[in-house]
């Protein structure tokens, strides 16, 4: 691959140091304005319309308990990763589809969970999620500039409803930017496990070239530590540009937004 010239979108004759760029989705490209409680309330309203008599408080508690159980399991997976036990970590870092969560929530409430109701609540949640999304400043422009300059781009993100991702990308005019899209629920494993990153690199034809690939994301564990464990170059999106990494691996680069990414890529190519 030739080194892209981001100033004019044309390739030069110098070989590129960066072979591809991977991106997280939530709070990297898109921002979620609504709170989790508002999503729960929207989903509960859909359930209430089905005629059940469960209180919102009971439904919310079951929802939060389900999330807490997954968070505990994922934290165990992260600790296993840090100890180098990739196979055990993969089992702990499995990613459910959201309909599985809805079914589990209803089961914990001893409420009948026919497929039709599970789907109704799943899509009610996703409608709420979609309604709260907005594009972060500079995201589309940065992706288009990098893509037009010749960099292969991939989306690598944790998301529990992979079948809604195409609609999200179309809505924000991002669908044509990515050569590869890897979603945790479809892959069965979530970041920070290296497997999700590796799947994207294999599909890009870059297996074994990890050190020439950037991963851009906002989460110090899922994105920065995950990219580090996978052998990629992490770039941390840190809007406040404040605070350190604590005990976690620090990225070599930190940006307040994607608006600065094309400039960083140009500097890395020098």
Cβ atoms 101, 195 nearer than 8 A: no
* Distance, CA of 144 to CA of 261 (rounded, Å): 12
Q: So what's the pLDDT on residue 251?
A: 81
pLDDT digits (tens), the chain, 270 positions: 445 556 544 343 235 799 999 999 999 999 999 999 999 999 999 988 877 778 999 999 999 999 999 999 999 999 999 999 999 999 999 999 999 999 999 999 998 889 999 999 999 999 999 999 999 999 999 999 999 999 999 999 999 999 999 999 999 999 999 999 999 999 999 999 999 999 999 999 999 999 999 999 999 999 999 999 999 999 999 988 766 676 567 787 899 999 999 999 999 998
> In terms of DSSP bridges, do strands 10-15 and 2-5 run parallel, antiparallel, or are they unpaired?
antiparallel
Closest CA to 34 of 123, 133, 127: 133
Cis preceding linkage at 194, omega within 30: no
The CATH classification number of 2-33+135-269 equals 3.40.50.1000
* Distance, CA of 199 to CA of 182 (rounded, Å): 7
Cβ atoms 226, 197 nearer than 8 A: yes
Helices (H) and strands (E) in the chain, counts: 11, 10
Q: So what's the pLDDT on residue 15?
A: 59
Q: How far is CA 44 from the centre of its chain?
A: 25
Burial class of residue 33 (count of CB atoms within 10 Å of its CB; 0-12, 13-18, 19+): exposed
Q: So what's the pLDDT on residue 13?
A: 25
Cβ atoms 145, 153 nearer than 8 A: no
* Helix, strand, coil abundance in the chain, percent, nearest 5: 50, 15, 30
Structure tokens at 224: 């920065």
Give the domain ranges of the chain: 2-33+135-269, 36-131
Question: Backbone phi, then psi, for 50, in 5-degree steps?
Answer: -85, -5
Q: So what's the pLDDT on residue 269?
A: 92
Closest CA to 96 of 12, 184, 175, 177: 184
Q: How far is CA 231 from the centre of its chain?
A: 18
């Amino acid at each position: 691959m030739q080194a892209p010239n981001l100033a004019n979108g044309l390739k030069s004759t110098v070989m590129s140091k960066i072979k591809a760029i991977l991106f997280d989705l939530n709070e990297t490209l898109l921002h979620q304005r609504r709170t989790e409680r508002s999503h729960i309330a929207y989903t509960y309203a859909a359930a209430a319309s089905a005629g059940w008599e469960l209180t919102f408080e009971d439904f919310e508690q079951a929802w939060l308990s389900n999330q807490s159980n997954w968070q505990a399991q994922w934290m165990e997976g992260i600790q296993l990763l840090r100890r180098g036990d990739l196979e055990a970590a993969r089992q702990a870092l499995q990613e459910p589809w959201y309909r599985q969560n809805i079914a589990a929530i209803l089961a914990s409430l001893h409420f009948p969970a026919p497929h039709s109701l599970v789907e109704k609540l799943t899509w009610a949640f996703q409608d709420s999620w979609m309604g709260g999304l907005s594009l972060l400043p500079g995201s589309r422009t940065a992706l288009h500039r990098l893509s037009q300059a010749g960099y292969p781009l991939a989306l690598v993100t944790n998301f529990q409803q992979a079948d809604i991702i195409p609609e999200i990308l179309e809505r924000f005019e991002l669908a044509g930017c990515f050569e590869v899209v890897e979603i945790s629920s479809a892959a069965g494993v979530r970041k920070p496990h290296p497997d999700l990153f590796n799947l994207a690199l294999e599909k890009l034809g870059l297996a074994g070239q990890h050190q020439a690939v950037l991963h851009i994301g906002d989460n110090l564990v899922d994105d920065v530590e995950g990219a580090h464990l996978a052998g990629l170059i992490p770039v941390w999106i840190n809007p406040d540009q404040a605070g350190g990494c604590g005990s976690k691996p620090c990225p070599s680069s930190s940006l307040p937004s994607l608006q600065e990414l094309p400039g960083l890529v140009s500097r890395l190519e020098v």
